[in-house]
A and B are shown apart, each in its own frame.
Chain A
Amino acid sequence: MKTKSVALVLTLALALTFGFVATPVRAQDETLEIGAIAWEESLAIADLIQHVVRTELDYNVEVTNPNAGVAYEAVSNGDLDLFLESWQPMTQANYLEKYNVVEFTNFGPMYEEAKLTWAVPAYVPEDKLSSVEDLAKEEVKEKLDGEITGIDPGAGIMNISDEMMDEYEALSDYELLEGSGAAMQASLKDAVMNDEWIVVTGWQPHSMYGRFDLRNLEEPKNMLGAEERIHMLGRTNFVADFPSKVSQFLSRLYLPISMVNNLTSMYGDMGEGTGAAWAEEHPEIVDYWVNGVDALE
């Protein structure tokens, strides 16, 4: 009996030893560090990725919430493994130009049909305010207290909104308020509850479109740009440094915009845990992301 126990212990020790030897470039106890801007759609997707990587790929994940500028810098110098929200080709063009993005690991578009917006509640009469140019009207200026409610400084929409403030004569008496996504939504909620006028900077997909009845302002100079695509950017040598199951999952991860809206809306209601709930609702999609062609054939 004792001999048997010794043999068992030896076998286990050997198995453990070879287990460690056979571990890929990064050990299982290392961590995938993800940067997700504190915007709902980004947090929702981060929650989903975190869930799948932890439960299906057995790899640790940590999520932080840098702004876009910090995220590009951190991916560039290797402090961050993955940034979830690279808006291309226009919104974050300044960062794409500044950093040597050929060194980044670009996993391609995660979703498309995204768009930057300036929006107002639908009850604001369209005949009075339907375009950025209408902001020049005295009556409109007064109703809005000369304010455009923005989000966090450094965000692509804020950089472009800043440029719009200079470019549009109609905005010469307005101030672009800096804050955060959450603060913008709180202001929007207050305004809607009191039937007040407000202009917010935003984008689609965004849960505010699900929560409130909003209308996008026309923007005749097209500075907000056309539809954008959202890429995931990894640090240099991501593919070589992480197990292929992780990089291949990220390469396969792609969502139609309708599902991003759905996921974002769920996150708005549930917060953390959304990823697990969504994955449970869509096992066939997660199966393909994780197992690739083996899930199909």
Chain B
Amino acid sequence: MNKGHNYYQSAIVFALVLTTILLGMTTPGSAKANGKIAFYVAPETEYVPVGELISYLLRSKMGLEVNKIVQYPEVGLRKVATGKGDLFLGLKLPPANETSGSYRIYQLCNLGPIYEDVAAGWGVPAYISKKWLGSSEDLRNEKTKNRLHREIIVYESDEKLLEASREIVMGVKGLQEYELVELSESVANSELERATRNEEWIVTTIRRPSLPFSLHDFRIIERLTEEQSVHLFGRNDLMAEFSGEVTQFLSRFYLPIELVNELIRTWDQDQEVSVRDFVNRHPKLVAYWVNGVKAL
């Protein structure tokens, strides 16, 4: 092996080492640099399937390597605000409680609502005609009281709805006769299942979207919370760090609440195929998210 060849080999090794060092210095999560995205999703029934849908599309349509991390909102938001994460799903706005923590919302890229009409209240299954039970006003009707056995089912784990229900039942004339039946989540779900199977009348506290809401085709007759929207957040320099293809997809991603419920329901049935089937069922919507106006 001659001297010149050794120089040549050394130059190649040097170039490889330099390339490795430079690659190692790139910002974590930068898709432009390494094709990876760190996606934090809050551990709630509604966020996990929607997060999986977004991850699936980022993987299959954008070719990104998605690191989906199910994590509490405070942690996920902090990671994204400090640039250690790229995306976060799991915050409703306007916030029900004072937000706290080491981040401020302006330090994030708010990609806007990805679904709206988020609310909670007293709900009834759709088979109960609106004509008879269209709003909480109808609960004062004597026949309605009898058909409901003067009972309103309340999930005991949802203290906020429990408290709001107590205030209404105690404070509104004509509703004092109702008993709030506090049940654990599993017992309440069983009761709901039994009642809907027999098409019995039932009023229960419920959140939209949620699994019970999507399973039994509910409608809310008395709202107990302000309406909120669920937003997707990115790191503040998202647009600089990721390609337009990715950021524009994220900006366009928007679901009607009915499709969120659909996704929650199918996810509960089979997590393996839920998202893939959703994409197959809604090709035009997916095409718009991915390709923008040219898909319309």
Contacts and interface: CB of A to CB of B under 8 A. Distances in A.
Interface of A: 88-89, 93, 96-97, 101-103, 105-109, 112-113, 226-229, 231, 236-237, 239-240, 244, 247-248, 251-252, 254-256, 259, 282, 284-285, 287-288, 292-293, 296-297
Nearest to B281: A297
A6 B284 CA distance: 51
A88 B247 CA distance: 14
B251 A112 contact: yes
A105 B111 CA distance: 12
Contacts of B259: 293
Interface in B241-282: 244, 247-248, 251-252, 254, 256, 259, 282
Contact residues of B: prevailing secondary structure: mixed
A256 B291 CA distance: 11
Contacts of B95: 102
B105 A102 contact: yes
A244 B232 CA distance: 19
Contacts of B105: 101-102
Contacts of A108: 110-113, 231-232, 251
Contacts of A259: 293
B228 A296 contact: no
Give the 10 A-B CB pairs with smallest separation, nearest first: A108-B112, A96-B106, A296-B284, A284-B296, A106-B110, A102-B105, A89-B236, A240-B227, A109-B251, A251-B113
Nearest to B248: A112
Contacts of A227: 239-240
A288 B112 CA distance: 17
B227 A239 contact: yes
Interface string B284-295: 110010001100
B255 to A, nearest CB: 8
A284 B294 CA distance: 10
B109 interface: yes
A225 to B, nearest CB: 9
Contact of A103 (B94, B111, B284, B285): B94
B237 interface: yes
A105 B226 contact: no
Given A256-B248, A256-B292, A297-B285, A102 B116 contact: no
Interface in B181-220: none
B229 interface: yes
B228 A239 contact: yes
Nearest to B91: A102
B256 A107 contact: no
B254 A252 contact: yes
